[in-house]
Amino acid sequence: MKARYINPYTDFGFKKLFGEEASKDLLIDFLNQLLPAHHNIVTLTFKNPEQLGAARGDRRAIFDIHCENEKGDKFIVEMQKAKIKFFKDRSVFYTTFPIKEQAEKGDWDFKLNPVYCVAILDFKYDDDREQKSYMSSVQLKDQYCQTFYNKLTYIFVEMPRFTKPEHELENHFDKWLYFLKHMEDFDKIPDILNEKIFIKGFEIARIANFNEKQLIEYEDSLKKYRDLKGVVDTSFEEGEKIGLEKGIKKGIEKGIEKGKEEGIEIGRKEERIAMAKKLKENGIEIEIIAQASGLSREEIENL
């Protein structure tokens, strides 16, 4: 069964929902859920998403969406589909462009307008941090955790951490995330999203409304998204397997050392056989299983 609505994680889908003049009110409504009240947006102007360096040959940046509000506040809005190396560095680098473009010729007092980098992530960007909230707001602080500079803000929304079912949605922002996360799976508008702003979003996202050119562009964008996800998922699976094998080897070394120290025997053969079966089911190499279980290679192969 084909989806009724677009996948918003695709380049085409994200820009269709948030990056066109016809859908600008959706972007304003979404951003206003993230911003402090005194920065709420009334109007937005889209800017060129391609940012060039100061000199020929300098590295450029291409944003998904680049815009500013009626006060001159700058917004970079991005959909990040896969975890990349130096993700935080990339985010900081991108914000240098709307900062530098504010420089004025001649006498200038260096006063800057606020810059916001809003990234919707289809991955967890930091698995080690203690706080597991699906939204992070980051500013520059001093050693006393006092805000040093409040005009540069990074907002990261980690979609995999948003797991609320429909009956647990608490506010308008929760509804936005629920809308984005499950859009491709909806076959009709759920009652909880039966609001003017979301109804318009569903109408924009309805694939049946696309012309032939838009359909081709969307299918191409969807294929690229699925190919990318396939590569990333495969690499994570391989990484987990390698990590498991390394962990088992390390565990064996520690276990043998501790066993020698405390004079603990490996245990009954039945337990070692059960352990070996489990490791074999998970595709662990026979040599590693032999070290862990104390069984011979022949015994393991015959399990």
What is the three-class DSSP state of 293?
A: helix
pLDDT at 32: 95
Q: Which residues of the chain have pLDDT under 50?
A: 55-57, 260, 262-267
Cβ atoms of 177 and 159 closer than 8 Å: yes
Contacts by residues 89-96 (CB-CB < 8 Å, ≥ 24 positions apart): 91/117, 91/119, 91/154, 93/61, 94/61, 94/63, 95/152, 95/154
Distance CA 187, CA 64 (A): 27
Domain map of the chain by residue range?
Answer: 11-232, 267-303
CA proximity to 209, closest of 196, 218, 197: 218
pLDDT at 38: 75
pLDDT at 28: 96
pLDDT at 57: 47
Residues 62-114 pLDDT 10s: 788 999 999 999 999 999 887 777 888 989 999 999 999 998 888 889 999 99
Average pLDDT, the chain: 82
pLDDT at 277: 77
pLDDT at 37: 77
Angle of helix 269-281 relative to helix 286-293, nearest 10 degrees, comes to 160
Distance CA 157, CA 246 (A): 32
pLDDT at 139: 94
pTM > 0.85: no
Residue 232, Cβ density class (10 Å: 0-12 exposed, 13-18 middle, ≥19 buried): middle
The residue written with tokens 């916001």 in the block is: 116
Residues 37-47 pLDDT 10s: 777 899 999 98
* Whole-angstrom Cα Rg for the chain: 26
Distance CA 78, CA 15 (A): 10
Range list of H helices, the chain? 11-18, 24-32, 87-100, 172-182, 196-205, 212-262, 269-281, 286-293, 297-301
Cβ atoms of 97 and 61 closer than 8 Å: yes
